Amino acid sequence: MNSSQTPSGAERAAAAAAESAAAYQKYVVQPGMESVKDKVQQTKQTMQAAAEQVKQQAQAKAEEVKQQALAKAGEVKQQAQAKAGEVKQQAKAAAGEVQQQAQAKAEEVKQQARSLIHQGLAKLPPPVATRVEPLMTTAKQRPLPTAAITMVILLVLRRLLRRNR
């Protein structure tokens, strides 16, 4: 400023420009900013509402999928149990058949053993046969001790035969 305290033309122009900028800011920019802020706030609220809605839809869909999965799991479980029961019945039937076959084979072997015993007794001389028959009766009545004694006799004979070699 000059010494007389009157503003010069440039100073006046600068002051007018400052006033004009302040007025522009006050009446043009700030009201526009308020409407932009309002729009931003509205958009934010709309997005939050949409996000909440999507969240609820996702939760509902997840619950629906969960219920479907549980229903399918129950269905699969029932099918598995039915199949297990079927397999169990088949196994029982097969076990029954095997048991019958084993019993038939055991009976066949038993008959063959009796036949062989009678053939062996028929080939023995009568005095020996009369002494062997009571031993056979004892062996039938007490098979475990008879088997043990037979094993001991076989082991002794084996050792005696090995010594003679």
Domain hosting 52: range is: 25-97
Q: Is residue 52 part of a domain?
A: yes
Q: Cβ distance 139 to 146 under 8 Å?
A: yes
Over residues 107-153, the pLDDT tens digits come to 998 899 888 877 877 887 888 878 878 888 888 888 888 888 889 98
Q: Is residue 4 part of a domain?
A: no
Q: Cβ distance 2 to 8 under 8 Å?
A: yes
Domain tally for the chain?
Answer: 1
Over residues 105-118, the pLDDT tens digits come to 989 988 998 888 77
Over residues 68-120, the pLDDT tens digits come to 999 999 999 999 999 999 999 999 999 999 999 999 998 998 899 888 877 87
- Both structure tokens of 58: 């996702």
Over residues 11-52, the pLDDT tens digits come to 888 888 888 777 766 666 555 556 667 778 888 899 899 889
Q: Is residue 44 part of a domain?
A: yes
pLDDT of 2 reads 47
Q: Is residue 13 part of a domain?
A: no
